[in-house]
Homo-oligomer: A and B are copies of this chain.
Amino acid sequence: MSVLPSPSRSVVESLVRDSLSRQLGRSLPYQDAPVLVANSSARHMHISPENLAILFGDGAKLTVHKWLYQEGQFASEQTVTLIGPRKRIIPNLRILGPERTLTQIELAFTDSIQLGIDLPVKMSGDIEGTPGGYVMGPKGILEMKNGIIRAARHVHMSPGDAKFYGVKHLDKITLKVTSSGCATRFDDLLVRVDPSFKLEVHMDTDEANACDLERATRVELSVS
């Protein structure tokens, strides 16, 4: 598996008009239907400026490797090595920018099995009681007391999109993926609403592999 979000991620665009017309019992004009994008996130790290300084030296800044779909978000050129409690390692773990207030590492279950840790499913930012580890950068080692999670599958959306789907922040919704031989409905998709968000589903690489997201022919959000 690549550690880069870019090669392992897959962008599938699909109009949701048909299914929503069925749900709403009326046809929708084309411009009403938001375009849904579903992407997989490979394992990655978010980092605070203080922790970045420990790993990459005073005054270090994240530099852009590749822009992501959400405005202002990017895969940085900076990577680190994660050392788990059983001394197994995950090399080339990529940091996503920009810097945040909270340092956090998001892995798939496959990664956690390799690392030998028990990974909880958490919403981004909800890191109390989660496992920690050591992170090695070119200028130093950071001890994370906690902050290693499997990010709960989620969908970013604007308040307008939320109104369209009839959901609110932290509701759960279903993503239906149509894919040859492995059609899958992901329930428990957490809705995250913010005016800055573009409509985008984030799943991890295990989920993307389970439904063959890369070759999926259709993705739809559904409230049932």
Q: Contact between B188 and A181 (Cβ–Cβ < 8 Å)? A: yes
CB distance from A18 to the nearest CB of B (A): 17
Closest chain B residue to A181, Cβ basis: B121
Q: In this assembly, does A209 line the interface, its C-beta being within 8 Å of a C-beta of chain B?
A: yes
Q: Contact between A210 and B210 (Cβ–Cβ < 8 Å)? A: yes
Q: Determine the chain B residues whose CB is within 8 A of the CB of A24 once the complex forms.
A: none
Q: Determine the chain B residues whose CB is within 8 A of the CB of A2 once the complex forms.
A: 113
Bound CA–CA A206/B185 (angstroms): 15
Interface size class of A (residues with CB under 8 A): 20 to 34
Q: In this assembly, does A81 line the interface, its C-beta being within 8 Å of a C-beta of chain B?
A: no
Q: Which residues of A contact B (CB under 8 A)?
A: 1-2, 8, 108-110, 113-114, 121-122, 152-153, 180-188, 205-207, 209-212
Q: Determine the chain B residues whose CB is within 8 A of the CB of A153 once the complex forms.
A: 182
A206 interface neighbour in B180, B188, B206, Cβ under 8 Å: B206
Q: Contact between A209 and B1 (Cβ–Cβ < 8 Å)? A: no
Most B-side CB within 10 Å, residue of A1, A153, A206, A210: A210
Given A109-B212, A210-B210, A184 contacting B181 (CB threshold 8 A): no
Interface CB pairs A-B, < 8 A, 8: A8-B113, A108-B209, A110-B110, A110-B206, A181-B188, A183-B187, A183-B188, A210-B210
